[in-house]
């Protein structure tokens, strides 16, 4: 079973990198978003536009991700669902999520959400930097190799 890349694409800053890796490795790559986006005309690249609404794209990805797939998302609850389904998961900054790390990632996300709702100024994520792209490419390569072995 070949590896499939699923991309939570609406706010993904590494689409070009994913396309290059997917093309080089000849992997089916599925970009899931709430709106149309320009993608190359390639039989291995699929665009899925889901209806507007909370978690619609997340639900679409989570229903399909599993062993032999790699999911690219910064959404921690989606990462949790995909890890539980057996998928390899990586954030655009190169951070991998697995059964050992997802619990802490969820706890941190929930804590920050609670602080924001209580009026605390949390500052948000740092700006995306070139080193994040490099970390992502290295992490994506690692997760694809792991998914290939598991498939």
User: Does residue 118 carry a pLDDT above 80?
Assistant: no
| Fold of the domain built from segment(s) 4-150 | Rossmann fold (3.40.50)
User: Does residue 109 carry a pLDDT above 60?
Assistant: no
What strands, in cross-sheet order, belong to the sheet with 45-49? 45-49, 28-33, 4-8, 69-72, 88-90, 96-97
Q: For 36-53, write each residue's pLDDT tens digit.
A: 999 999 999 999 999 998
Tell me the domain boundaries of the chain: 4-150
Model pTM score: 0.85
pLDDT at 99: 78
Q: For 53-97, write each residue's pLDDT tens digit.
A: 888 999 999 999 999 999 999 999 999 999 999 999 999 999 999
Contact 75, 95 (CB under 8 A): no
């Amino acid at each position: 079973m070949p590896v499939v890349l699923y991309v939570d694409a609406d706010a993904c800053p590494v689409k070009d990198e994913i396309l290059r890796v997917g093309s080089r490795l000849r992997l089916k790559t599925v970009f899931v978003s709430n709106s149309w986006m320009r993608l190359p005309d390639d039989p291995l690249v699929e665009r899925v536009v889901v209806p507007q609404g909370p978690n619609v794209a997340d639900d679409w990805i989570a229903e399909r991700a599993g062993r032999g797939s790699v999911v690219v998302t910064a959404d921690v609850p989606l990462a949790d669902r995909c890890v539980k389904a057996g998928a390899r998961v990586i954030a655009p900054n190169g951070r991998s999520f697995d059964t050992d790390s997802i619990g802490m990632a969820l706890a941190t996300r929930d804590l920050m959400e609670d602080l924001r709702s209580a009026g605390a100024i949390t500052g948000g994520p740092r700006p995306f930097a070139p080193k994040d792209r490099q970390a992502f490419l290295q992490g994506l390569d690692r997760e694809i190799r792991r998914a290939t072995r598991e498939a």
